[in-house]
Amino acid sequence: MAFNILNHSAVPKHEILSDDEIEEIFADVDYDISQLPKIKVNDPVSKAIGAEEGQVLKITRKSETAGIFVTYRLVSGENNQK
Amino acid sequence: MKGIIKKIDRINFGLMSPEQIREMSVVKIERPDTYDEDGYPIESGLMDSRLGVIDPSLKCRTCGEKGGECQGHFGMIELARPVIHVGFGDDIHKILRSTCTECGRVLLDDDEIEEFTEKMEELQEAGESVEDLVKDVYKICKDKKTKEVCPHCGAEQEDIKIVKPIDIIEVRKQYDENGELMTEEDGTPLTEDYDLTASEVREKLQRIPDEDAYVLGVNPEVARPEWMVLTVLPVPPVTVRPSITLDTGERSEDDLTHKLVDILRINQRLIENMDAGAPQLIVEDLWKLLQYHVTTYFDNEASGVPPARHRSGRPLKTLAQRLKGKEGRFRSNLSGKRVNFSARTVISPDPNISINEVGVPEMIAKEVTVPTYVNEWNIEELKEAILNGPNVHPGANYVKKTINGKEMKVRVLDDNRELVVENLEYGDVVMRHLKDGDIVLFNRQPSLHRMSMMAHEVRVLPYKTFRLNLCVCPPYNADFDGDEMNMHVFQTDESRAEAKSLMRVQEHILSPRFGGPIIGAIHDHISGAYLLTRDGFTVREDDAFQMIRKSHLLNNEYVDKKHLKRKNRDWTGKELFSLLLPDDLNMNYKAEICRKCETCLKEDCQYDAFVVIKDGQLTHGAIDEAAYGSFSGKILDTIVKEYGPSRAKEFLDRSTDLAICGIMKTGITTGTNDEEIPEEAIEVIDAHLDKAEQEVDKLIATYEEGLLQPLPGRSAEETLEMRIVQVLGEARDTAGEIAEGYLTMGKQSQDDSYDYVMAVENHSVVMARTGARASMLNLTQITACVGQQAVRGGRIERGYINRTLPHFKKGELGAKAKGFVHSSYKSGLDPIEFFFHAMGGREGLVDTAVRTSRSGYMQRRLVSALEDLKLTADGSIRNTADTIIQFRYGEDGTDPTRSVGGKVIDMDDLFTEVLGDDADALLRLDSRDVGEDYGSREKDEMEYFEEENSDYESETEYESE
């Protein structure tokens, strides 16, 4: 009976990346995963897709300028907002 | 300047302990006096010479330095009784609420304390904030405080309240003579408030052990909790609170000194009373007074404390006030400083200088200087400048020489000029006057975007105002009703080079806010260009050459000589304008004067509104705002994007010159005659408005009979209101349209071309249609009908009970009774209409005032939040910690300045470029939005606000002095 927020039109697609995918995507960049934007473990979306601390989420959303835009967020604990 | 002695490794914030204060203090202040009759500082008074000296003729008794050299030394006041520091009221309250009433231990059991301590140490090591943990501790303890006993000593707890800012109150439970807890009827314990004295608070804080203080968020090594209650007060050195000697010879003391005198007086009285064994009541009163003075000494704007006032009634400016707010030390003296080599004066227009120039008054040019290194190539020129001296224009004020590694600055005076010139050698620096061609920074506040500060070339001109080209008014948002602007002179070659490549006016023709030009033609440039380029306008050949000459098109690097040959016939305005266009320019677009007909006749447009440029020749269409106006100029936009800023600068300079020539050929004039329509038109309009009013009355009648069908989701009243507003709105629009039918630029017939040209007889309409100034709405409001006045987004409701004015019946709903203005501005408003109009106008004024302050504050917050974000080489946006904010700038990685109206590419442009003439079929001219979207929308909005307010003719000039 609980409402599935993932089906809401304003919630973009969130996917948990596997370790292989992470390695592939972040192979050629000059930053490491800890520098990614964060999403809290207890964020409603993290909870809904069952993400765990340390995982990386791939977020695919509509963009006014680019059409479709892909971002990544690191799932982090409560006290690590920064 | 002294060299760097030590490097800062880290900064530790903490509280000062009483011992530290005593240690750093050089004198104990006891006497509430400053100077004796002879004007000497009194020993152990507030101006004791051991606290440092200001007067350069005196020597400091502590360090022996002269006034000016000695930075001052702290003293102290031993307070007779402890006093709470205002800044820590909240913290004291939180700490006391988290600790035991009896033993002072934190209300956590040993395991919890250990757990929290460990977590905190971990975070501290990682360099992260422990704030959240401290909050958690407070939350847990606060709950226990009211419900449980102390886990350490088992004592019952009393809750603590705070009355801001500094009164700490213990809520004591009441017990009867048997030791039983007394309760209200509903079972809640009976309580009594007890005011804790500062001494009691200090004792309680003192009882907290170091380990417990740590989990409370206080590092006991640098800040013991009890240090938040003062027992000794540091006295700042006199250099912090200098006294001023007035012209009358009277001494006037700083506000801080005044406050310290108060503190000392009460402190002395308290000591005397205590020594004499005065009654408790008197001592307590004096103690409270001491607390008040110390409180206001720190913060004179603490809520709940009446501010201490000067004899004149002005509130004193104490420590917190020195730092806080816009005029405080941070925002006014540290983030923003006053600078040398800058000038400020009134601005005025000069259409004869280029957009990247600024006219600088000679007076200013002689004051602000450019440091110039002497070398082989400029020595002669500089020698001449020195000989001219500081008072003759291309002169010099100082010469800087380096002799034996020591820098010397020599002032150029009447009697040493020859000597200075003789000794001038390569490598010296001459501070020469500002001269033509120098690059300076020009700025108008509020500096809301980067175009508010641009680099201009200097033009030294007579008189006392800064002169600027009219095209740069929009980016600065400047007008000439008394605006002032600032100029800064670059002092290094690096800064000058940087400004020249990044900040020059031509680099900013396109605004990054929308991908279109923000610098462009305004007002007369637009009407002028229209009058010149409209169909059928011709000039005699000699006049044409005169215009070419006057607009600097002869010997112009961008104008091909082949176009300047004699034609042996009259020249059309379009031919003249074509001289300005690059020879390979091809474009077509709809001009501002376009009437948006159902089917576009394109080249055959009867209004000459379809512009076609082929190989740099303007073949069809008139030039108006849509061509080269600021915010929307399409030709200008294309030239900047295709041919670069320098070409665009030249185009703008020359085209405005030509437009002014055009306007001088035809002449332009306006008056109330332009808003005249025939009597029969007025009758038609009146009949129409009467009909609308009858319709409104009919609606009201239906409503009153209860027959009005409510719209879905609306009540009958709302439906009626909506219908009335709609009917009246339409009525005004039709009235406007009828008037517009008579408001034409001139005769519309093209049969007799000579007549057609000369027929431009209504310049108000020309200005409105071409987008130069005003709008058709403005004109129809003047001629036909002003329309509905609104307050708070609806018809006027306020005033008397159930009616707007006593002229109406209660509950009347008619058009007139709720602020509909039938009259036109020209015919004049009747008193009732006038009153409603004033109501609507006033709301507009208030709105503007509110909007400016609110959007200013929002801008400040946004800037603070975004100021240190940067674009990196990989296209991502990072902050200073190098964490990613956005993976790709703007998500599409596009610089909005180089976009086409916010879009990455313009397909139409691409088709035209690749297919040439064959592209016509593919072009979507109608839906085309090149540079139109943001720019023109913004301009419309701006004009809309102006319209609302211009009725009042009160330009709310926002000068922040």
| Separation in Å, CA of A59 to nearest CA in chain B | 12
Q: Is the pLDDT of residue B354 over 50?
A: yes
- pLDDT at residue B463, rounded to an integer: 94
> Is A29 in contact with B874 (Cβ distance < 8 A)?
yes
| Separation in Å, CA of A78 to nearest CA in chain B | 10
Band of residue B805 on the pLDDT scale cut at 50, 70, 90: very high
Chain A, nearest residue to B890 by Cα? A65
> Is B128 in contact with A80 (Cβ distance < 8 A)?
yes
Average pLDDT, whole number, for chain B? 86
Chain B, nearest residue to A62 by Cα? B891
Q: Domain B674-845 is classified in which CATH homologous superfamily?
A: RNA polymerase Rpb1 funnel domain (1.10.132.30)
> Is A63 in contact with B892 (Cβ distance < 8 A)?
yes
Q: What is the value of pTM for the model shown? A: 0.75
Chain B residues with CB inside 8 Å of A63's CB?
Answer: 891-892
The b/e string for B116-126 (b: 16+ C-beta within 10 A; e otherwise) is: beeebeebeee
> Is B883 in contact with A35 (Cβ distance < 8 A)?
yes
Point out the residue among B132, B884, B888 whose CB comes nearest to the CB of A37: B884
**ipTM score:** 0.91
Chain B residues with CB inside 8 Å of A66's CB?
Answer: 888, 890-893
Residues within 8 A of B (CB atoms), A 40-69 only: 63-66, 69
What would the pLDDT profile of B874-891 be if each residue is shown by its tens digit? 899 999 888 999 999 988
Our CA dihedral for B587, B593, B595, B596, rounded to 10 degrees, sits at 30
Spatial distance between the Cα atoms of B685 and B669, rounded to a whole number of angstroms: 27
Chain A residues with CB inside 8 Å of B881's CB?
Answer: 82
Residues of chain A with pLDDT under 70: 1, 78-82
Give domain A11-76's CATH architecture: Alpha-Beta Complex (3.90)
Lookup result for tokens 């938040």:
B228
Q: pLDDT over 70 for what percent of chain B?
A: 93
Give me B787's structure tokens: 């329309």
Residues within 8 A of A (CB atoms), B 890-919 only: 890-894
| Separation in Å, CA of B900 to nearest CA in chain A | 12
Choose the mutation target among B869, B872, B888 for the interface with A, i.e. most A CBs under 10 Å.
Answer: B888
> Is B129 in contact with A31 (Cβ distance < 8 A)?
no
Give me B522's structure tokens: 């305004």
Lowest mean pLDDT among B69-83, B181-195, B549-563: B181-195
Is A32 at the interface with chain B, CB within 8 A?
Answer: no
- pLDDT at residue A78, rounded to an integer: 63
Strand partners, B75: B235
> Is B891 in contact with A69 (Cβ distance < 8 A)?
yes
| Separation in Å, CA of B872 to nearest CA in chain A | 11
**pLDDT greater at residue B337 or residue B914:** B337
- pLDDT at residue A1, rounded to an integer: 57
Band of residue B949 on the pLDDT scale cut at 50, 70, 90: very low
> Is B891 in contact with A63 (Cβ distance < 8 A)?
yes
CATH code of B524-666, in short, is: 1.10.274.100
Q: Is the pLDDT of residue B229 over 90?
A: yes
Spatial distance between the Cα atoms of B318 and B263, rounded to a whole number of angstroms: 13
- Domain definitions of chain B by residue range: 85-227, 253-337, 342-508, 524-666, 674-845
> Is A80 in contact with B882 (Cβ distance < 8 A)?
no
| Separation in Å, CA of A22 to nearest CA in chain B | 15
Band of residue B177 on the pLDDT scale cut at 50, 70, 90: confident
Q: Is the pLDDT of residue B153 over 60?
A: yes
HEC profile of B30-71: CCCCCECCCCCECCCCCCCHHHCCCCCCCECCCCCCEECCEC
Residue A79 sits at the vertex; the CA angle it makes with B98 and B130, to the nearest 5 degrees, is 45
Lowest mean pLDDT among B165-169, B424-428, B807-811: B165-169
Interface A-B, measured as beta-carbon pairs within 8 A, has a size of: 40
Residues within 8 A of A (CB atoms), B 551-610 only: none
Is B182 at the interface with chain A, CB within 8 A?
Answer: no
Q: Would you tell me how many other CB atoms lie within 10 Å of the CB of residue B619?
A: 13
Band of residue B2 on the pLDDT scale cut at 50, 70, 90: low
Sheet bearing B159-163, strands edge to edge: B159-163, B167-173, B191-195
Alpha helices in B867-932 (DSSP H): 907-915
Q: Which fold has domain B342-508?
A: Barwin-like endoglucanases (2.40.40)
Choose the mutation target among A38, A57, A65 for the interface with B, i.e. most B CBs under 10 Å.
Answer: A65
- pLDDT at residue B956, rounded to an integer: 36
- Domain definitions of chain A by residue range: 11-76
**pLDDT greater at residue B173 or residue B953:** B173
Choose the mutation target among B128, B132, B880, B887 for the interface with A, i.e. most A CBs under 10 Å.
Answer: B887
What would the pLDDT profile of B738-761 be if each residue is shown by its tens digit? 998 888 887 555 554 444 444 667
Chain A residues with CB inside 8 Å of B121's CB?
Answer: none
Tell me the residue length of chain B.
Answer: 961
Chain B, nearest residue to A28 by Cα? B874
What would the pLDDT profile of B295-313 be if each residue is shown by its tens digit? 999 998 888 888 888 888 8
- pLDDT at residue B936, rounded to an integer: 47
What would the pLDDT profile of B514-553 be if each residue is shown by its tens digit? 888 999 999 999 999 999 998 888 899 999 999 999 999 9
- pLDDT at residue B917, rounded to an integer: 60
Nearest residue to B316 via CA among B236, B270, B256, B373: B256
Our CA dihedral for B35, B82, B295, B226, rounded to 10 degrees, sits at 130
Lookup result for tokens 């059928």:
B536
What number is the average pLDDT over the span B160-186?
A: 80
Chain A residues with CB inside 8 Å of B888's CB?
Answer: 66, 69
| Burial of residue A74, with CB atoms counted within 10 A of its CB: 0-12 exposed, 13-18 middle, 19 or more buried | buried
Is A29 at the interface with chain B, CB within 8 A?
Answer: yes
Strand partners, B821: B787
Chain A residues with CB inside 8 Å of B874's CB?
Answer: 29-30
Band of residue B827 on the pLDDT scale cut at 50, 70, 90: very high
> Is A65 in contact with B891 (Cβ distance < 8 A)?
yes
Q: Which residues, 6 or more positions from B837, have their beta carbon under 8 angstroms from its beta carbon?
A: B786, B789, B821, B829, B951
Compute φ and ψ for B794, nearest 5 degrees.
Answer: -140, 180
| Separation in Å, CA of A12 to nearest CA in chain B | 15
What number is the average pLDDT over the span B96-115?
A: 86
Q: Is the pLDDT of residue B374 over 90?
A: yes
- pLDDT at residue B478, rounded to an integer: 93
Chain A residues with CB inside 8 Å of B870's CB?
Answer: none
Is B888 at the interface with chain A, CB within 8 A?
Answer: yes
| Separation in Å, CA of B885 to nearest CA in chain A | 6
What would the pLDDT profile of B445-471 be if each residue is shown by its tens digit? 888 889 999 999 999 999 999 999 999
HEC profile of B374-386: CCCCCHHHHHHHH
> Is A82 in contact with B890 (Cβ distance < 8 A)?
no
Is B875 at the interface with chain A, CB within 8 A?
Answer: no
What would the pLDDT profile of B38-89 be if each residue is shown by its tens digit? 778 888 888 888 888 887 887 888 888 887 788 889 999 999 999 999 989 8
Chain A, nearest residue to B901 by Cα? A65
Spatial distance between the Cα atoms of A54 and A14, rounded to a whole number of angstroms: 15
Q: How many CA atoms lie within 13 Å of B17's alpha carbon, on the beta-carbon side?
A: 10
